[in-house]
Amino acid sequence: MKILSVCNIKSSIYLDAIAIRHKVFVEEQQVSPEIEIDKNEALCIHFVLYNDENTAIATARLLPDSEKENFATLQRMAVLKEFRGKGYGRDVIVEIETFAKLNNISEIVLHAQLSAKNFYTKMRYISFGDEFEEAHIKHICMKKVIFLI
């Protein structure tokens, strides 16, 4: 297993991330392709987990906050259906949190689908605010302090 990250939206790693996201969000969850890929793609760090057969199976992206230099938003977390429940999502989150520490990102926020809330709670994210709908799916805001400033 390996996790690679990239900012270059012309790289094969990014294209692997997009392929996973398309299967999970567009095909499975019926999210519109027009909102799944957005204007922030080139601003994000894209993480892709590859298994031992070098198959891309999980992804997420981290969007640094343009106004608060020590904050970032975790987005587009996705694991291919046949690989869920095996800890790969956790591995991606741990890699992103390690990246955050190394890059002085002190807090990560995210919009969790309600079906994934327990997953993030186990990863020590704390929910805040009211439930809301995003892409026709119920979500809740969550955050985690990576380190204190």
| Strand-pair category, 45-50 with 107-113 | unpaired
- CATH superfamily, domain at 2-145: Gcn5-related N-acetyltransferase (GNAT) (3.40.630.30)
Is the pLDDT at 125 greater than 90, yes or no?
yes
Cβ neighbors of 70 (< 8 A, separation 6 or more) are 104, 105, 106, 107, 149
> Where residue 42 falls among pLDDT bands split at 50, 70, 90?
very high
According to DSSP, residue 64 is labeled E
| Strand-pair category, 71-79 with 107-113 | parallel
Q: Tens of pLDDT along 60-81?
A: 999 999 888 899 999 999 999 9
Q: Which two tokens stand for residue 28?
A: 């499975």
